[in-house]
Amino acid sequence: MSAEQRRRDDEAAREWKGVYRHYDLVKEASIAFGVVLALALVLTILFSSPDEPPSTIRSWSRTNPVDFVTTAVTELDGSSVTATYGPPYNHASSGQHIAFIRLQKWFGTNIAINAAKDFVLAPLGSMPGTSSVRAAVATYQSASASQQAAWTTAYTNALDKATVSSADTVSIPAGNYGPVAPMMASLLTFAQTGGLDGALLTNKQFYQTDYTKPLMFMADGAVLSDRAAAEHLGGDQWGMMNETGAYPGQVWLWLYTFWYQIKPFSTSNNADILVMAVMGLMSTLFVLIPVLPGIRDIPRKIPIYKLIWRQHYESLGPPPTTVQSAIEPPMPPAAAAPG
Amino acid sequence: MSTSAERSWTVRLRKRAVAALPPEKLLPDGQPTYVASWIYVFGVLSLSALAALIMTGSILALKGPSWWHFSSTGHFFNSLHLWSVELFFFFMVIHLWGKYWMAAWRGGRVRVWITGAVTFLVAVPCALTGYVSQQNFDSQWISTQAKDAMNSVGIGSFFNLMNFGQMYSYHVFLLPLAVTGLVIAHILLVRRHGVVPPFELEDRLKAARAGATDGASS
Q: What total of structural domains would you count in chain B? A: 1
Domain span at residue B153 reads 41-194
- Asked whether residue B212 carries a pLDDT value surpassing 70, the answer given is no
> Is residue B30 one of the residues assigned to a domain?
no
* CA–CA separation, A112 and A95 (whole Å): 14
In this complex, which of A50, A228, A338 lies closest to B30 when CB atoms are compared?
A338
- Report pLDDT for B201: 64
Whether residue A12 and residue B106 make contact (CB cut-off 8 A), yes or no, is yes
Q: B11 in contact with A at a CB cutoff of 8 Å?
A: no
- Helix (H, G, I), strand (E, B), or coil: what is residue B211? helix
Higher pLDDT, B100 or A241: B100
> Is residue B153 one of the residues assigned to a domain?
yes
Q: What's the pLDDT band for A334 if we cut at 50, 70, 90?
A: very low
Q: Which of residues 175-194 of B touch A (CB under 8 A)?
A: 193-194
Q: What's the pLDDT band for A336 if we cut at 50, 70, 90?
A: very low
Q: How does pLDDT run across B11-33, given as a tens digit for each residue?
A: 999 999 999 999 988 999 998 98
**Which residues in A lie closer than 8 A to residue B39 (C-beta atoms)?**
308
> Is residue B18 one of the residues assigned to a domain?
no
> Is residue B46 one of the residues assigned to a domain?
yes
- Asked whether residue B138 carries a pLDDT value surpassing 80, the answer given is yes
> Is residue B69 one of the residues assigned to a domain?
yes
DSSP β-ladder status, A20-22 and A163-164? unpaired
Residues 6+ apart with CB under 8 A from A282: A255
Q: Quick one: closest CA in B to A28, which residue? A: B44
Whether residue B204 and residue A326 make contact (CB cut-off 8 A), yes or no, is yes
Higher pLDDT, A133 or B112: B112
**Which residues in B lie closer than 8 A to residue A39 (C-beta atoms)?**
83, 87
- Report pLDDT for B106: 92
Three-state SS string across A12-34, please? HHCCCCCCEEECCHHHHHHHHHH
- State the CB neighbour count (10 A cutoff) for residue B14: 11
**Which residues in A lie closer than 8 A to residue B31 (C-beta atoms)?**
20-21, 23
Mean pLDDT of A193-198: 93
* CA–CA separation, A304 and B90 (whole Å): 20
* CA–CA separation, A187 and A65 (whole Å): 11
Q: B118 in contact with A at a CB cutoff of 8 Å?
A: yes
* CA–CA separation, A120 and A127 (whole Å): 11
Q: Quick one: closest CA in B to A27, which residue? A: B29
Q: A10 in contact with B at a CB cutoff of 8 Å?
A: yes
> Is residue B19 one of the residues assigned to a domain?
no
Residue B136's CATH number:
1.20.810.10
* CA–CA separation, B153 and A282 (whole Å): 16
Mean pLDDT of A298-303: 92
% of chain A exceeding 90 in pLDDT? 67
- Report pLDDT for A333: 46
ipTM of the complex as predicted: 0.90
> Is residue B111 one of the residues assigned to a domain?
yes
- A197, A201, A215: best mutation site toward chain B, by most B Cβ within 10 Å? A215
From first CA to last CA, the distance across chain B in angstroms is 62
Instruction: Give the H or E element holding residue B210.
Output: helix B202-217
> Is residue B119 one of the residues assigned to a domain?
yes
Q: How does pLDDT run across B56-96, given as a tens digit for each residue?
A: 999 999 999 999 999 999 999 999 999 999 999 999 999 99
Q: Which of residues 143-172 of B touch A (CB under 8 A)?
A: 143-146, 148-149, 151-158, 160, 162-166, 168
Q: Which of residues 36-95 of B touch A (CB under 8 A)?
A: 36-37, 39, 41, 44-45, 47-49, 51-52, 56, 68-69, 75-76, 78-80, 82-84, 86-87, 89, 91, 93
